[in-house]
Amino acid sequence: MVNGTAPVAEKTRHRVLKAIEELDYTPNVLARGLITKRSGGIGVIVNDLTSPFFGSILDGIEAEVEAQGMHMIVASGHADAKRESKAIHFLRQRLPDAMIIQVDGTSDPELLELAAHKIPTIVFGRHITELGERCIYLDNEQGGFLATQHLIDCGHSRIGHIAGPLTIADSRARLQGYRRALEGAGTPYNRGWVIEADYLEAGGYRATRHLLERTCDLSAIFCSNDQMAAGALQALREAGIRVPEDVSIIGYDDIPLARYLYPSLTTIRQPLFEMGRAVAEIAFKALAGKRAEVRHKFEPELIERESVQCPE
């Protein structure tokens, strides 16, 4: 009756409502969930809660979830298979109405199996054909290509790349896009121009210093995210190398701070917030047994600022 299941007479209705008020009674979610197999929350798992990258995504998801009067419970998986698995099971046990999961250590088949259960499961940041509309992702290969091609269009040819951890699919895709652009321009892939780092500022800083030791003829560097680009900027500054006069830098993500770096960072924008909203919308529609009318594949976009210019 509290949930409008049964039709009630006005009189009894009032009596009950009054009693509820007096005892400030709160329905026990656990007991209720035992029957309905529902908890009224959306489970969300992402690699890490700290970075501005996932921050924007969570923001988008939260906006939509809150608009629906629901809540999200989030956990982090740290791109590690074991931790992801624990986090996923922890969340599943709480019977969320739907799950949104962004992981890197978990394989496609495992994800497929998860999605096969009753709880609607949406995958963020991966394209799994069998999942159809239940995933949302961005073309990172194209993003890497876009970034590198922009440098090429500006007249650069000796272009380095600071990659993210190559255990992460996004990192590999961006690297792949970098190679495609380079090869399209007739520049063979040069191993010495590429270095792997960790998506953190300090990592980008160290990687840049290593790159500088290895070779000093680079005229541009494509960093696989903005945080590493911030580190690169700093390393170049300390080395007395001017950006963008001597070396151009391009980042990836367009985090809020990107435009406040010096020089302001040219970068590849991913519509993280919008993607967060969209994935939540898919979840809610799936919950209602409907298909969501949203985009599933998003396109990266070049944001031109001041850290790139023609060589010389």
In whole angstroms, give the CA distance from residue 125 to residue 129. 13
Per-position x/- string for 2-31, each x denoting binding to DNA as judged by CB under 7 A, each - no binding: xx-xxxxx-xx------------xxxx--x
Position among 82, 237, 291, 297 found at the interface with its own copies (CB under 8 A): 237
- Of the two residues 20 and 166, which places its CB atom closer to DNA in the complex? 20
Amino acid at 83: R
Number of amino acids touching its own copies (CB under 8 A): 50
- Of the two residues 20 and 63, which places its CB atom closer to DNA in the complex? 20
For residue 5, state whether it binds its own copies (rule: CB under 8 A). Answer: no
295 makes contact, choosing from its own copies, DNA, none, with CB < 5 to 8 Å by partner type, with none
Position among 20, 34, 63, 67 found at the interface with its own copies (CB under 8 A): 34
- Of the two residues 113 and 130, which places its CB atom closer to its own copies in the complex? 113
- Of the two residues 92 and 209, which places its CB atom closer to DNA in the complex? 92
Q: Give the bridge partners for 71, in sequence order.
A: 41
**Stretch 96-115 residues interacting with DNA (CB under 7 A):** none
113 makes contact, choosing from its own copies, DNA, none, with CB < 5 to 8 Å by partner type, with none
2 makes contact, choosing from its own copies, DNA, none, with CB < 5 to 8 Å by partner type, with DNA
How does DSSP assign 195-223, residue by residue? EE--SSHHHHHHHHHHHHHH-S---EEEE
Q: What angle do CA 145, 51, 245 make, to 5 degrees?
A: 50
Q: By three-state DSSP, how is residue 284 classified?
A: helix
Q: By three-state DSSP, how is residue 264 classified?
A: coil
Count, residues in the chain: 312
**Stretch 28-57 residues interacting with DNA (CB under 7 A):** 28, 31-32, 34-36
For residue 93, state whether it binds DNA (rule: CB under 7 A). Answer: no
Q: What separation in angstroms does the CA of 190 have from each of 33, 42, 85, 186, 215? A: 57, 45, 37, 12, 11
DSSP annotation of 51: S
256, two tokens: 């809020």
Q: Give the bridge partners for 194, in sequence order.
A: 161
Position among 31, 116, 217, 293 found at the interface with its own copies (CB under 8 A): 31
9 makes contact, choosing from its own copies, DNA, none, with CB < 5 to 8 Å by partner type, with DNA
Q: What angle do CA 221, 216, 175 make, to 5 degrees?
A: 30
1, two tokens: 């009756």
**Stretch 159-198 residues interacting with its own copies (CB under 8 A):** none
Q: Are strands 301-303 and 267-269 parallel, antiparallel or unpaired?
A: antiparallel
| Residue 139 dihedral angles phi and psi, to the nearest 5° | -80, 90
Which residues of the chain form contacts with its own copies (CB under 8 A)? 26, 28-31, 33-34, 39-41, 49-52, 55-56, 58-59, 62, 66, 71-76, 83, 86-87, 89-90, 93-95, 200-201, 205, 227, 230-231, 233-234, 237, 256-257, 259-262, 264
